[in-house]
Structure 1
Amino acid sequence: MLHALEEYKRGLRENVSFLDCLWRELYGSINACQWDRSITEKEAEYLREKYL
């Protein structure tokens, strides 16, 4: 998930044309971490609210 987050933040900084793809990648990564219990539901909600 950290890689997806860093890539999304880089995309925001650089105003890339494929930001929607990076957004989807980060969203999916957060969900995957939540479902494999790497992060809690509360942490996942926080990340979604902060970055998405």
Structure 2
Amino acid sequence: MHLTGGGLDVLICLELVEPMRGHAPAVVLKEALEGIRIRRDEQMQEWKRWHP
């Protein structure tokens, strides 16, 4: 998953829910990771649908 916009470009691993590449302010990254954790199963299904 990518976190982009406002000068950000962070690649986040959906399986581990942690940044793989790039940097973001701690508060932004914390909020993004919390959102991913909440919707992780749904996002993994969507990823698998587009990347069989």
TM-score of the superposition, structure 2-length normalised?
A: 0.36
Higher relative contact order (CA 8 A, sep 6+): 1
More helix by share: 1
Kindly indicate which of the two structures has a greater share of residues assigned to strand: 2
